[in-house]
Structure 1
């Protein structure tokens, strides 16, 4: 069946065939996949019930958790697998990637639905994420292929001497994934480690264990030597024990700044520094100048702020608007925001679903209360109503009179702060004055302003004049996703050229012919 391909930016496409297909799949998924009791080798503790954020009465399934001895066993299995996979050829890794690509292409709608139920994503957000994962299995293997497996001849200084640079695997990588993109971010880190020749111990988010286990099933179907891929289940304590395990040679992590930095510091405390590949959130400002297409700017900010309920590391959560067009921007924002549907993400018309958990609900309420006392709420911020569970809210646009924790801290919710500024320069000065540096966007029809933004924004992912999203929508091979400052640790990001080499270390081979 040929269906339109869903990405994060092709907003003008008619996705009716996709929705028709999902109308047929959703009842079967609820009947055949949800509510099961799962078992896996390295999770032997008693299973627990997990519910969907869509509806607390909807059981995702019963999932066991991993004990300390299970972690030891999983890491030992990975070390056994590494003895084989560390020495695999580039051709063997590429053959595996081609098999996994075919499996993901077949399974993408099931994986997307798992993300819909576990995270509360809208249909198109969920299927778009699965499509992104499929594209990773095209882009990253091609990078490995065209770079000759990262083997490169070097300068020959004397006759009969050859010198070669070779990137080689570290050994065993722990992959610790977040809740908000349980398919794409998990698969991205896993494929980076595996194509780099490492074995993997993977821990999905505790609320996204269904997605994690379905990914593991797909890898089993794709075929890997025993021990090369292993999955553990559980809460943050399981992740901490895994990251600190002496048998782990590197950690790939996506999540909060606090947790990521604790992993980084721990990996620096041993007899040698072990690699950490981390993406740790963002504040992601947008800038609207007096020369902007205001309607386009409002649409881009709404989509980036309210898509996935603002629970993206690249979600726009603060917008700096030229004082001359502030009132017009607020009106256009409200006009467009009122057109998006908030509700049950199983429905085809829904753009924005529930907040993820009670902690997010409390943060949202606290922010609304703070603005009520110190600023102005221009739009939303209210519960959806009695017909919905308590974690459904209308996203909020709030204006604050000056910098505050609301303009500096990451909150991971559908809440965007407006700041009125004299010009782009003033806005950038304030927008750069944060610990994060993931994404930023600008709206202006003045090319000199766009260039000033590109030259001065302190973030790794920059956009200009995007109606599909002010700060969101990165895609494999198109927008490398690199965190600056407190967002990242290496100065290199995912989705781009320099991702796989981070999972490898350089070795030079100098050989004399005798």
Structure 2
């Protein structure tokens, strides 16, 4: 009997769509087809692969009007915000195509060649790459690996989250309509057991995973037991901190951090989950933060006026509420009354945005990823105390510093000290919760290993091949 997965609409708890899992024999055939297709695809000139990438963007644009509602029904983000993911997807695609030729070019050593010798380093595709995509930003995250992998000459097996199966199918359809061979991009809906089967197949050369720490450990474990030495990139969770210095522009900073904490109901690996505020501005900061949070409109994500939707599942909602309850029981104070968001009922996926004060690092809410619309705000007395607390985390994805660096040279110098001392993959000044495709996206500690975006993303999806030529033999 075939195994199936059914996607449940977060806000209504009704079934949205069902997919049937392939058998292991069918999966092995898919991988064989990918191997054969990749050999031919890697011989297609890079210029032609880039041109197909441009056509892919046009094919994807043709679908864009239908995608926001599909996203809302699959994962719960307000339909009014879906267009932002589509724009970001296309912006990243455009940048990755713009840098493809330079990122994949041969590395010449002619300036240091000795007479009679020629040397250079080629970038060659890895082969078959499994991309395991998350549900929270299914387009925006998958583009980071899928498009550069294909442009670099690889074949891709794309496994979407069971929560967002249609997104991978849309992605693959736009690629094949643009001219990418069907066996170069194949969508696989799979259980964890079937996913492990793919990871351990000797013909799969690399795995790019985005998701939870627990999921990342499972992928790494499966790869460690593969027949070959399968490469793995892990983009995992975060507990991303912000520090508000005394000279920060309060109105601007509050608006940015409220959005950074609650956009997509806080369901982002780089969402702001903890804020440290200098004691000299702590009270007005908290007051403004709470006031703005209370203006959010929680409700049905398919309605245009909603700007805060449900979380992805009942289990997620229960976990988030439990973390808040534990913090309050340990002495934290919640500043958003439950009555202010009456839709947020126990037993539903609607979770009210919550602001917690009187928090400390003995509480899970300040140490472990929440992945929901909750933020803790803690008072600090100095840059040094803020730095110590920001680094006191098992995660290291992003961190942001908020200060008036434009008018105060000392503030910029202070920011640059944070850049040197923070154990994170990205450090922001006066912004947060953002990926710039020109910059390497990576984390340290439990936030993972590997890199995507920028030229280094292409490096990860290719291997070096050295060419050493002795031209003169006499």
Name the TM-score, length of structure 2 as normaliser.
0.91
2:125 to 169, 184, 207: 169
Aligned residues: 462
Contact 1:175 1:253 in 2 (8 A): yes
Moved more, 196-205 or 495-504: 495-504
Of 392-401 and 251-260, the range deviating more from structure 2: 392-401
* Aligned partner of 2:107 among 152, 155, 175: 152
Superposition deviation, residue 205 in structure 1: 0.2
1:350 match: secondary structure: coil
The offset of 1:394, in angstroms, is 1.4
Q: CA deviation at 1:301?
A: 1.7
Aligned to 1:27: none
Residue in 2 aligned with 1:301?
257
User: What are the equivalent positions in structure 2 for 1:21-100 lying under 5 Å apart?
Assistant: 45=2, 47-57=4-14, 59-100=15-56
Match of 1:392 among 340, 346, 350: 350
* Unaligned ranges ≥5, structure 1: 1-43
Does the CA-based 8 Å contact 1:381-1:393 persist in structure 2?
no
Post-superposition shift, 1:400? Answer: 4.1
Alpha-carbon distance, 1:366 to partner: 0.6
Match 1:503 to one of 441, 461, 472: 461
Kindly provide the CA deviation profile for residues 367-420 of structure 1, in whole angstroms up to 9, marking residues without a partner as x: 121122112333337384359881112111112442132212112111111222
What is the CA-CA distance between 1:480 and the residue it aligns to? 3.5
Contact 1:396 1:416 survives alignment (8 Å): yes
Q: 1:69-468 to 2 correspondence within 5 Å?
A: 69-147=25-103, 149-155=104-110, 156-270=112-226, 273-380=229-336, 382=338, 384-385=341-342, 390-404=348-362, 405-445=364-404, 446-466=411-431
Shift in CA distance, 125/484, structure 1 to aligned 2, threshold 3 Å: farther
Cα 1:318–1:81 change in 2 (3 A) is same
Work out the CA distance in 2 between the residues paired with 1:309 and 1:460: 23
- Cα distance in 2 for partners of 1:397, 1:239 equals 38
Q: Does 248-257 or 346-355 show the bigger shift?
A: 346-355
Q: Is contact 2:125–2:462 with CA below 8 Å preserved after alignment?
A: yes
User: Does the CA contact (< 8 Å) of 2:223 and 2:231 recur in 1?
Assistant: yes
Does the CA-based 8 Å contact 1:100-1:137 persist in structure 2?
no
Q: What secondary structure, in the 3-state scheme, does the structure 2 residue paired with 1:509 have?
A: strand
* Whole-angstrom distance in 1 between the partners of 2:334 and 2:283: 10
| Contact 1:253–1:278 under 8 Å retained in 2 | yes
Counterpart CA distance in 1 for 2:139 and 2:72 is: 11
8 Å contact 1:310–1:413 — kept in the other structure?
A: yes
Counterpart of 1:346 in 2: which secondary structure? coil
Task: Summarize the Cα distance change of 1:193–1:421 in structure 2 as closer, same or farther, 3 Å threshold.
Answer: same
Equivalent in the alignment of 1:483: 443
Contact 1:354–1:393 (CA<8 Å) still a contact in 2? yes
CA positional deviation for 1:278: 2.0
How far apart are the structure 2 equivalents of 1:166 and 1:213? 33
RMSD (Å), alpha carbons: 2.2
The 1-side partners of 2:326 and 2:276 are apart by 19
Contact 1:287 1:320 in 2 (8 A): yes
Instruction: Note if 1:473 corresponds to 2:473.
Output: no
CA–CA distance in structure 2, aligned partners of residues 296 and 498 of structure 1: 33
Q: Structure 1's 497 and 124: CA in aligned 2 closer, same or farther, altered over 3 A?
A: farther
Are the counterparts in 2 of residues 341 and 352 from structure 1 also a CA contact under 8 Å?
yes
* TM-score, reference length from structure 1: 0.85
Cα distance in 2, alignment partners of residues 169 and 381 from structure 1: 54
For residues 239 and 281 of structure 1, the distance between their equivalents in structure 2, rounded to whole angstroms, comes to: 20
Counterparts of 2:80 and 2:442 in 1: how far apart (Å)?
24
Q: 2: distance between equivalents of 1:270 and 1:82?
A: 21
Give 1:472 deviation, angstroms: 0.5
Cα gap change, 1:169 to 1:392, in 2 (>3 Å): same
Cα distance change, pair 335–386 in 1 and its aligned pair in 2 (3 A): closer
SS at match of 1:351: coil
C-alpha separation in 2, matches of 1:313 and 1:332: 25
**How far did 1:47 drift?**
4.9
Deviation at 1:122, TM superposition (A): 2.1
The match for 2:407 is none
How far is the alpha carbon of 1:146 from its aligned partner?
A: 2.9
Secondary structure of 1:92's counterpart equals helix
